[in-house]
Structure 1
Amino acid sequence: MEPSYILHTKLKELVGVHCNLAAPLHFLGIPFYRFAENTLQEICIKRGLDQKKLLLHLQESQKQTVVPSYQSLSKSSVDVVINHLKSTHMWFIRYRLPFISQMIQDIDSQLFNSPEIAEDMKIIFPEFMEEFIHHIYEEEDTLFEYIRKLYKAKQEGFMNSTELFYLMKRNSIKVYAQQHQDDDDEMAGIRYLTNHYQLPAHASPYMKVIYSELKKFEEELMLHSCIENEILFPKAKALEKAVVLKLTQASKLN
Structure 2
Amino acid sequence: MQQDLLHKKVIELVTENYAYASVLHFFGVPFYQHSEETLDKICQQKNLDKGKVIKELEEAGKTTNPQPDFNELKKYDLDLVIEYLKVAHMKFIRYKLPYIAKLIDDIDSRLFDNPAVAEDMKVIFPVFLEDFIKHIYEEEDTLFKFIERLMQADRGIFNPYMLFRDLKNHDLKHLSEEHHDDEDKMSGLRELTNGYQVCERTTPYTKVIYTELKHFEEDLMIHACIENEILFPKAIALQNRMKLRLSQKARMN
Which TM bucket (shorter chain)? Answer: over 0.9
Q: Call closer, same or farther: CA 1:120–1:200 in 2, change over 3 Å.
A: farther
1:213 corresponds in structure 2 to 212
Report the counterpart of residue 95 of structure 1 in structure 2: 95
**Equivalent residue, structure 1, for 2:198:** 199
* CA contact 1:26–1:32 (8 Å) conserved in 2: yes
CA distance 1:140–1:63, change in 2 (3 Å): farther
Q: Deviations over 1:38-68 (max 9, x none)?
A: 0110111222222112212323445669875
Over residues 113-137 of structure 1, what are the superposed CA-to-partner deviations in whole Å (9 max), with x where a residue is unaligned? Answer: 1000000000000100100000000
Residue-by-residue CA offset, 1:207-254 (whole Å, 9 max, x unaligned): 010011001101111100000001111111101100001001100110
Give distance in 2, aligned partners of 1:132 and 1:242: 32
Cross-structure match for 2:151: 151
**How large is the RMSD of aligned CA atoms in angstroms?**
1.5
2:62 and 2:90 map into 1 onto residues whose CA distance is 20
Match of 1:246 in 2: 245
Equivalent positions of 1:1-254 (< 5 A) are: 2-62=1-61, 69-154=69-154, 156-254=155-253
Aligned residue for 2:89, secondary structure, equals: helix
> Contact conserved, 1:13 with 1:205, CA < 8 A, in 2?
no
CA distance in 2, matches of 1:66, 1:164: 40
Q: Is the 8 A contact 2:10 2:31 kept in 1?
A: yes
Deviation of residue 110 (structure 1)? 0.5
Structure 2 unaligned blocks of 5 or more: none
Contact 1:7-1:41 within 8 A present in 2 as well: yes
Q: Quick check: 1:73–1:81 contact (8 Å CA) kept in 2? A: yes
Aligned residues: 252
Distance in 2 between residues matched to 1:243 and 1:62, nearest whole Å: 48
Identity of aligned residues (%): 50
Contact 1:41–1:51 (Cα < 8 Å) also in 2: yes
Q: What is the distance in 1 between the residues matched to 2:114 and 2:209? A: 12
- Mapped to 1, the partners of 2:181 and 2:68 lie a distance apart of 27
Give the unaligned 5+ runs of structure 1.
none
Letter in 1 for 2:195: H
Letter in 2 for 1:13: E
Matches of 1:199 and 1:61 in 2, distance apart?
20
Q: Secondary structure at the match of 2:185?
A: coil
Cα deviation digits, residues 58-82 of structure 1 (max 9, x gap) = 2344566987521111121111111
Q: Secondary structure at the match of 1:185?
A: coil
Residues 111 and 206 in structure 1, CA contact (< 8 A), matched pair in contact too: yes
TM-score (norm 1): 0.95
Q: Whole-Å Cα distance in 2 between the matches of residues 62 and 229 of structure 1?
A: 32
